[in-house]
Structure 1
Amino acid sequence: MRFLFLLQIGLAFLLYIGCGPATAQLSSGAPVVISLQTELLNLSVPGVYVEQVIDARPTAGPLGLVVRGLNSTLREVDLQQGLVPELAGLLHNRLPAGGARPVVLRILSVGVAEAPVGNFRVQMAAELSAEWYARQPDSTYYLLCRTSRTTQHISSAEPKNSHMANLGALLEASLQQMAGVDWAAQQAANPRCEAAALRRRLPTQTYPIQSEERLRPGVYNNFFEFRYNAPGRPGNVQADARAYQTAEWQGLRAVSPFMLTPEGQHVAVEQAWGFCDGQQLYIRFGADYYLLEKRGTAFLFFAPALYNNNNTLLFNGGPPKHAYSLNLFSGLTTNYAGPSGLISLNKEGLVTHLMVYRRRQKNAPPLPVQLNGQAAGELREGDYLSLPWHDGNQPVRLCVGTEACLELTPSFSEANYIEYQPGAPASLQLVPAREGKTQVTRMAGR
């Protein structure tokens, strides 16, 4: 059984992330069903029982999405009895009601995710955010505490057991946190609420990584830490860039991250999902880390393709670039689906880059950059901005600041280098690829 799983994971990973847009389609299959009834066998939270479990997520749905099988089948992960019956049954069995105080568990968010990490191993991650309420004699409620945690486990074993163990550990940690609060203090500090308010679902919201202006620097242990802009290992992370020497790669590079200790030592980042240096986001793909760029409501990154256009494995000559999207619900990576997450690539399946750069200019403020009227980032002095473009043969209007604009039809045979020169007759100029690549490579190496 374990050998079959390893074979499926290895081949599914290659098929799933390695093929071109036409051959990497995911078909849907039967759900992966897990149960929590074997978890929390040694739970000890005296004096309370859970009288009710409420699903307050914006929408009821699966715990996550995973890829299984030799045909790269996309499958939902579901609890055997459904979220509320599964948790209610488990907690009723583990925490007897006799003589205990009643509490309500309100689930705000819960999920599982998987990410291949190489050597036929998979990282299984989970998250749980919840609220605990105490019931008053008049049937109103007050908040005891809010809990939010993530966890992860790397293994080559079949993931179902790890998902169950991860969710069980998160639920137990949430219970223990609730049991340790000062009930009298919480009763005095928090307003009363009616049962109907607890049953109300949360409004649909963007995730913090989409909405928060400040990116928190540090290392993401798992996908959920990234989604909530909450690195599990906060700190000063820096990266050494490593350029691939092929024209097709167009200047994009893998990086080798390290954390800088207060003593000035460089500690290599290992076993991470990704990281943030405070300005840019990076995701692990295979053995390397790649720049993760926000495009609309989606996230995009470029990484090597495992197959060439003839569907044969690549061993030499440098990796051609391939565009991938990161799904913010499941953490899965798929072929780039456009800024909405729904749009396909142009019919040739090509993606190019607009490499906008600006030489050093003392005390010059960063300037906003727009593509066709949509915000695309900021351009700092002595730096560059890499903008993916996938609409073949369509002109684009690029603007830096409020006055400098340039209309061009991007080339898909090589990267498009545009220099911003304030004060010049034409502030934005398309420059020869060799000249632009030299400038950008110099900036990236600083």
Structure 2
Amino acid sequence: MPLSTRFWCRLLSLVICGLFTAQVQAQVYYLDLSRQRLTLPERTLQVEQVVDGRPGHPTIGLVYRGLDNRPAAVLFRNGLESELQTFLQKQLPARPADHAVVLCLRELRISEQLGGLTEVASADLAADVYEHLPGGGYYFVRTVAARTSNRALETTAQHPEHIALLLQRCLGQITATDWAQTKFSPARTLAQLAADNPVAATPDGKRVPLAPILREVPRRGIFYTFEQFLANRPDSILPVRADTIPLRLRGSNGRLLWSGVARFRPVAPNGHNYDQPVGKMAWGFSDGQQLYVQHNKQYFPLMRQGNFFTFVGEKPLDVEYMRARSDAQARAMVTGVATVRAPNHTGEPTPYAVDMRTGQSAPYPNPLRARPARPDTTYVYLYRAADASPAPITVFVEGKEVGKLLPNEYLELPWPYYARMLRLCLEVATPNPCQLLVPNAAQLNYLKISATPATPGAPLWQWVTAAQGEADLDALDKLRKASAK
């Protein structure tokens, strides 16, 4: 074998061995908070105990380690409850006048998103705080939540600092607490806290209502912050509307799977008879009917799921594909030609959920948690009032025809797949006849469609509330019965 060939073979074997070693050593990443500090000069509490109230107690997240970015599960070496409790008690030693509290974690998530030469490290923390009163009971104080993110060339070492920062922010939210109000909530035992679903109460014993965005019609405008979204108080100075934009994706799989689905941006008139894009850094916006969320500088329509929202966005950079491409490049150094032996899933549609405590979007359902057994089937009702066209509208689910819809008719579509994305298409005269969504499993879904828009530029379909959908279907039933007489 020529010397040059032996050299390249030796180099390739060293690269492969190095990658294999990195893979073996990077299966678990342990968080170490020993060098972190908390600063809460106005605190009036001490953390008596930490309880892991996350369903299923999943790993905290995944990070990417080594030259080839092998995924590693994030854990605490001595357990989450033990290490966080030890850290908080060391940083915030108990004082005689302090209120003793239990921090019951509902969410603790660490993630990394790769992109080109840099990475984005994110962390989210949400917890319910309970005061332990002398009588022995535990009383709900409030829910706290915080998130942080940072972009850098290498981000894994930043996670311990992020966890400490989130703990400091969350505990700082309790500084202004009126501790006299905690007695109005029912007493719990320590064993009940992990499974508790607390609801804040007013002094007269009434429950604090849901966030306005969950009980009101969305107001039209821009939500620059998550807090504005929760309060349903957008910046309404400009009459914002949703405008469709061309799809821009590099991966062929992504382009194919997004085909026929509209992509949006918020626009508003600028006083010169044409619309101007609002920008990509708002939290979201509403056109007065549909809510949209900004995710990775793109906007996607939100779908209600009980007391939270989901949407279908793009998959992040496919690390497995990038690794396969790097391996192919290494093989090409020896053979001269090598193919990438993996599909590129970057940009493909995938469901996300909005955490209603932090405003952060995360894959839905959580891939780090076991899926619950959900045998129930949800239903989507498509209905069509009388319009200008007598022709039927053909309906497709997952590319298969499931029915035709005439004026003053409705169609029931069962969907027996919990938390699974649905592709719904209509045979209508529009360049974007399809939608991608996760149907609401908590109640029935109603989609009002038309062969022609009510006004120029208006959409041919609209998701409506369950109350409106039920009323409209009742009206169609009465109309059909009257016609049959």
CA distance in 1, matches of 2:34, 2:231: 31
* 1:73 positional shift: 4.9
Match of 1:281 among 283, 288, 292: 292
Match of 2:245 among 242, 245, 248: 242
* SS at 1:178 equivalent: coil
User: Per-residue CA shift, 1:46-69, capped at 9, x if unaligned?
Assistant: 553222112222321122345667
CA distance in 2, matches of 1:268, 1:201: 42
* 8 Å contact from structure 2 (residues 290, 301) kept in 1: no
The equivalent of 2:31 in structure 1 is 34
Matched letter for residue 144 of structure 2? S
* 8 Å contact from structure 1 (residues 238, 260) kept in 2: no
CA 1:94 to 1:253, structure 2 compared with 1: closer, same or farther past 3 Å? same
* 8 Å contact from structure 1 (residues 241, 444) kept in 2: no
* 1:302 positional shift: 6.8
Q: Does 1:165 align with 2:176?
A: no
* SS at 2:94 equivalent: coil
Q: Does 1:201 align with 2:195?
A: yes
* 8 Å contact from structure 1 (residues 67, 75) kept in 2: yes
* 8 Å contact from structure 1 (residues 45, 175) kept in 2: no
CA distance in 2, matches of 1:176, 1:131: 14
CA distance in 2, matches of 1:304, 1:54: 32
* 8 Å contact from structure 1 (residues 54, 104) kept in 2: no
The equivalent of 1:186 in structure 2 is 181
* SS at 1:256 equivalent: strand
CA 1:88 to 1:235, structure 2 compared with 1: closer, same or farther past 3 Å? same
Match of 1:324 among 336, 340, 350: 350
* 8 Å contact from structure 1 (residues 282, 290) kept in 2: yes
* 1:417 positional shift: 1.6
1:33-72 correspondence runs (5 A): 33-45=30-42, 48-65=45-62
* 8 Å contact from structure 1 (residues 65, 75) kept in 2: yes
* 8 Å contact from structure 1 (residues 253, 290) kept in 2: no
* SS at 2:87 equivalent: helix
Report which of the two structures shows the higher radius of gyration computed on alpha carbons.
Answer: 2
CA 1:245 to 1:129, structure 2 compared with 1: closer, same or farther past 3 Å? closer
1:82-101 correspondence runs (5 A): 82-101=79-98
User: Per-residue CA shift, 1:61-103, capped at 9, x if unaligned?
Assistant: 1223456677775543333432211210111111223535351
Identical aligned pairs, as a percentage? 23
CA distance in 2, matches of 1:233, 1:404: 35
User: Per-residue CA shift, 1:242-288, capped at 9, x if unaligned?
Assistant: 23599966443433335799xxx967333457655451435535x64
* 8 Å contact from structure 2 (residues 382, 410) kept in 1: no
* 8 Å contact from structure 1 (residues 133, 142) kept in 2: yes
Match of 1:109 among 100, 106, 111: 106
* 8 Å contact from structure 2 (residues 113, 317) kept in 1: no
CA distance in 2, matches of 1:106, 1:245: 44
Structure 1 segments unaligned to the other structure (5+ residues): 1-28, 313-319, 343-371, 408-414, 421-430
The equivalent of 2:312 in structure 1 is 300
CA 1:443 to 1:405, structure 2 compared with 1: closer, same or farther past 3 Å? same
The equivalent of 2:279 in structure 1 is 269
* SS at 2:173 equivalent: helix
The equivalent of 2:264 in structure 1 is 255
Q: How many residues align?
A: 342
For normalisation by structure 1, the TM-score amounts to: 0.55
* 8 Å contact from structure 1 (residues 283, 292) kept in 2: no
* 8 Å contact from structure 2 (residues 103, 129) kept in 1: yes
CA distance in 2, matches of 1:242, 1:162: 36
* SS at 2:280 equivalent: coil
Matched letter for residue 95 of structure 1? L
Matched letter for residue 189 of structure 2? E
Match of 2:403 among 397, 400, 406: 397
Matched letter for residue 156 of structure 1? A
Structure 2 segments unaligned to the other structure (5+ residues): 1-25, 198-209, 250-254, 322-338, 388-392, 414-424, 431-449, 461-485
CA distance in 2, matches of 1:141, 1:172: 22
* 8 Å contact from structure 1 (residues 220, 231) kept in 2: no
CA distance in 1, matches of 2:105, 2:39: 25
CA distance in 1, matches of 2:173, 2:115: 35
CA 1:290 to 1:151, structure 2 compared with 1: closer, same or farther past 3 Å? same
CA distance in 2, matches of 1:121, 1:193: 46
CA distance in 1, matches of 2:305, 2:134: 51
* 8 Å contact from structure 1 (residues 114, 331) kept in 2: no
User: Per-residue CA shift, 1:273-314, capped at 9, x if unaligned?
Assistant: 7655451435535x644556689997434799999xx979xx
CA distance in 2, matches of 1:126, 1:233: 26
* 8 Å contact from structure 1 (residues 115, 124) kept in 2: yes
1:403-414 correspondence runs (5 A): 403-405=409-411
* 8 Å contact from structure 1 (residues 50, 95) kept in 2: yes
CA distance in 1, matches of 2:45, 2:241: 47
CA distance in 1, matches of 2:348, 2:92: 51
